[in-house]
Each structure stands twice: as C-alpha cells, then as structure tokens.
Amino acid sequence: MKIFAVTLSIRPTVLDIEVAIMTKITIYTKLLCPYCVGAKSLLKEKGQKFDEIDIGKNPDQRPIMIDRSRGGLTVPQIFIGDKHVGGCDELFALERSGKLDALLG
Ligand SMILES: N[C@@H](CCC(=O)N[C@@H](CS)C(=O)NCC(=O)O)C(=O)O
C-alpha cells in the first residue's frame, strides 16, 4: 500500500515528460550582452527552454565554458545537448539554413 502511494506521488505530468524529452539547451551568457539577448530571443520564439549560466555572476563557470566550447572566449556559447553550436551568429545561421529544428529534436 505504501509503495502504491509513492508511485502515485512520483507520477510525471505531461509537462514533466515534454521537458524530459526536449534536448537540453545550455547557454552561457553575461549581463549587457546583445548577442546573448538575440540568441535567447530566438530560442524563446521557437518555444525552447534553456539553462542559462551567467558567467558574470558565476565566474567559476567561465573556464568550464571555455573548455566545453574548445576555446570559446565570447558569450553566448550555446550547447544543444552535448553539441556545441557556437555563438549567436552560428545559432542564427543554423536557423536560416533550416538545420536548427532538426538539432532541437
Ligand atoms: N560572433 C559572436 C560575438 C559575441 C560577442 O562579441 N560577445 C561579446 C559580448 S556581447 C563578448 O563576449 N565579448 C568579449 C568579452 O566580453 O569578454 C556571436 O555571434 O556570439
């Protein structure tokens, strides 16, 4: 009986499932960055949720960003799943070429 109650309490909602199957997007940003604003706007327009890591507020994340992006020193640095997209220009280039939707899954 107790197990039954636990099972019910962890039953995922439709929203939980939708979020779980969306490819995780991570975007490294900092304040007052027009490229970051542009990239986030495009992702929002496309109904995408993303994890934002502000390297100004979290300076310990900057070397992690540089390492993950293999030397990317500017923000934004955008990842779709494990794939490094690049910055804002690369994100918009993918959109223009029609390849972004496939990456988003
Ligand atoms: N071409 C890049 C340009 C990015 C860029 O120049 N970002 C600025 C901030 S808006 C930057 O990181 N500058 C270097 C710095 O602030 O250390 C892109 O599309 O993402």
Do residues 52 and 38 touch, judged by C-beta distance below 8 A? no
What is the DSSP secondary-structure string of 83-100?
A: EEEESHHHHHHHHHTT-H
Residue 80 in this model has a pLDDT that exceeds 60: yes
pTM of this structure? 0.84
> Best substitution site from 27, 28, 35, 55 to test ligand 1's pocket, by max atoms within 8 Å of Cβ?
35
Give per-residue pLDDT as tens, 25-48: 999 999 999 999 999 999 999 999
| pLDDT for res 11 | 76
Atom of ligand 1 nearest to the CA of 30: 9
Q: Output the residue whose Cα is nearest ligand 1's atom 6.
A: 74
| pLDDT for res 13 | 75
Fold of 17-104: Glutaredoxin (3.40.30)
Residue 5 in this model has a pLDDT that exceeds 70: no
**Residue range 76-97: mean pLDDT, rounded:** 97
| pLDDT for res 33 | 98
**Rounded CA gap, 103 and 80, in Å?**
7
CA 33 vs. chain centroid, Å, equals 17
C-alpha atoms less than 13 angstroms from C-alpha of 92 in its C-beta half-sphere: 12
Q: Where are the domains of the chain?
A: 17-104
**Which residues does ligand 1 sit against, CB inside 6 Å?**
33-35, 74-76, 87-89
